[in-house]
Amino acid sequence: MAFELIDLPYDDTALEPAVSAKTLSFHHGKHHKAYIDKTNAAIEGTDLAGKSLEEVIASARGSNQGLFNNSAQSWNHGFYWHSMAAEETSASDELKSMIDDAFGSIDNLKSKLAERGAGHFASGWVWLAVKDGKLTIEETHDGDTLADQEGVNPLLVIDLWEHAYYLDHQNARPAYLDAVNGKLNWSFASENLVRGTAWTYPS
Ligand code: MN3
């Protein structure tokens, strides 16, 4: 059983103007699809065929950089699509209280995410995660992921690769981050928090 390109959880115009249908057509239809296709091609006929995407990522980490990059990017993009929502969403009481404890307010958290995302050098991802029981902002470089990291539960992610924003915001990563901050899916973050373990890529 091969991995599939999951559908976007909203219409392709739903995130405009933060993220346009044109960006999604390339980002989901070309970039994400290519990561999935390359992961499938790399594991076909090996003992990783039939494993979960999370197992493939963990197995490839540190031993097969090409497969790691493609499988982790497959996961990260699935998680990223769900990290944004068409409609306004709200955080659970538990998440709100953890945000207040860690960042003072949800607006401060959004500012910190934008600051860390803007300051991240070159390609990567900025995450809201639970680590050692506390909310934290994490960054990963290139295709690296929090999907398989012990004791870390990712709640939300923002893609910092230029392909995520160049068509809509050109080089202005801060403008993209401000726009995406208004589209973050706090319901998804709350579901991830209450589950207590990392989201899994749909199979
Ligand atoms: Mn991307």
CATH code of the domain containing 163: 3.55.40.20
Question: Of all helices (H) and strands (E), which one includes residue 113?
Answer: helix 106-119
For residue 93, being part of any structural domain is answered with yes
Distance 163 CA to ligand 1 centre (A): 6
CA of 161 to the centre of ligand 1 (A): 6
CA–centroid distance, residue 93 to ligand 1 (Å): 31
Tell me if 5 is assigned to some domain. Answer: no
**Predicted structure pTM score:** 0.97
Cα(43) to centroid(ligand 1), Å: 22
Number of domains forming the structure of the chain: 1
Q: How many angstroms is it from 191 CA to the middle of ligand 1?
A: 23
| Residue 109 and residue 103 in contact, taking contact as beta carbons nearer than 8 Å | yes
Q: Are 189 and 198 in contact (CB under 8 A)?
A: no
Q: Is 86 exposed, middle or buried (0-12, 13-18, 19+ CB in 10 A)?
A: middle
The span from the CA of 172 to the CA of 159, in Å, is 14
- Residues 144, 125: Cα–Cα separation, whole Å: 8
pLDDT of residue 28: 98
Residue 64 lies in a domain: yes
Residue 53 lies in a domain: yes
Is the backbone peptide bond immediately before 17 cis, with ω within 30 degrees of 0?
yes
9-34 pLDDT, tens digit per residue, is 999 999 999 999 999 999 999 999 99
3-state secondary structure of 89: coil
- Do 122 and 93 touch, CB atoms closer than 8 A? no
* Residue 2 forms part of a structural domain: no
Q: Which pLDDT belongs to residue 203?
A: 86
Q: Residue 199: give the domain boundaries.
A: 20-203
Taking the centre of ligand 1 as the mean of its atom positions, its distance from the CA of residue 59, in whole angstroms, is 22
Q: Count of CB atoms within 10 A of residue 66's CB?
A: 11
Q: Is residue 106 part of a domain?
A: yes
Please report whether residue 6 resides in a domain.
no
Cα of 77 to ligand 1 centre, how many Å? Answer: 6
Predicted confidence at residue 49, as pLDDT, reads 96
Calculate how far, in angstroms, residue 94's C-alpha sits from the geometric centre of ligand 1: 30
Tell me the CA–centroid distance for residue 124 and ligand 1, in Å. Answer: 9
What residues have their beta carbon closer than 5 A to ion ligand 1?
Answer: 159, 161
Residue 1 pLDDT exceeds 90: no
Ligand 1 midpoint to CA 101 (Å): 31
Residue 10 located in a structural domain: no
State the sign of the Cα–Cα–Cα–Cα dihedral 165, 169, 172, 174.
negative
Tell me the per-residue pLDDT of 141-187, one tens digit each, with 9 for 90 and over. Answer: 999 999 999 999 999 999 999 999 999 999 999 999 999 999 999 99
